[in-house]
Amino acid sequence: MHDMSILDHLPDECTIQRLVRTKGELAGSKDAVVIELLKVSCWEQQVSASESLTYQKRGMELRSKVYFVEKPFVSRRHQIVVTSRNGEAVAVADQVVWDVLDSPAPDVNLGRGGLFRVMIGRNTAEA
């Protein structure tokens, strides 16, 4: 019998969107949201106090870390919205848009390999 691991089926889903600078009225500029991927399999996990403190020192509010089986093509111009947790849809009113705080990195802490971690939260340094 095959033991199913978290790598076989990540329990959550998210939307990945990107902020695109557009010209606004009166020669100003603003950010527009472009949806890049829907229903992306992922796994949202809590962060440790030390991880949170590291980002706080950089002027960022760390919310959680999101794991992906394949390296997502995201940068700090992207945002992630968790749309489903453990197979249960998150009500649209409860969905929160989080900033990508770092480039994706292979996760070495899980010991299984094969997962990429993206830290999400609020980049309060740019607010």
Smallest Cα–Cα separation from 127: which of 82, 61, 33? 61
How large is the average pLDDT for residues 25-48? Answer: 89
pLDDT category at 18 given cuts 50, 70, 90 is: very high
pLDDT category at 6 given cuts 50, 70, 90 is: low
Q: What is the dihedral of CA 1, 3, 10, 110, to 10 degrees?
A: -160
The Cα 120–Cα 98 span in angstroms is 6
How large is the average pLDDT for residues 3-26? Answer: 80
How large is the average pLDDT for residues 11-20? Answer: 96
CB 76 within 8 A of CB 102: yes
- Structure pTM? 0.85
The Cα 100–Cα 80 span in angstroms is 7
How large is the average pLDDT for residues 50-61? Answer: 95
Q: Does domain 17-126 have CATH number 3.40.50?
A: no
DSSP 50: H
3-state SS assignment for residue 45: strand
